[in-house]
Structure 1
């Protein structure tokens, strides 16, 4: 019996798509722009809200700016659909700005991967909702979401 982890490359199965989504969530929760950028091709193309980003250098710059503004950032992603070399996810993240105002941002992403499992296209649509600190649902320490913490569906999001 092999204990080797499945390869997270296309064509995705339900199992590998779920693992790929969790790996992406873990990366973003690290808030390490250089580490996160390695999940994308050198010429990766993004649409994030109304901002267009091309290549790893711009990804690092974008994420650095993002996490300077979005303090105590915590993210949960959930598989929505998959087919071949594409995965669609829904997500929600919480953060506060430098005034202490908390937000929950909701969104959807469409991902497309090359044969090596590196993402070359990412299209994200995101909406922000102001919340009070008492409305926060994500309370784990900064970093990876613990395995026992509920996901989006379990939280009713």
Structure 2
């Protein structure tokens, strides 16, 4: 038995109005109007990198004017036996961190944000040590000495 087709009444306007879902109104943001927006993993990565770089700038005056940049992962960072996690350019006074290789090679369980922050911090320390020509353990003398 064929169903009858309803024909929508034309209102004269060719534009369609935004539709809500099942008559419940338009959707609101997940956080609501009274909560701050949620941080994404990319925001956490950038914040960890920036705070570690600021800490090292306070210790080493040689880092004044050095720019710390974040890129995804360019094709020239992928080699046969390894993938670069950062690139140091002393002439341009720049350190570029490749976010995807740093985060993707991290083998953690769900919800272990502390491990991800430690990995990002260790990459910043190693890249700065590479830039300065020093050992990463020399960058913050006494910081890791247990009392």
Larger proportion of strand: 1
Mark yes or no: TM-score above 0.5: no
Bigger-Rg structure (1/2): 2
Using the size of structure 2 for normalisation, the TM-score is 0.32
Larger proportion of helix: 2
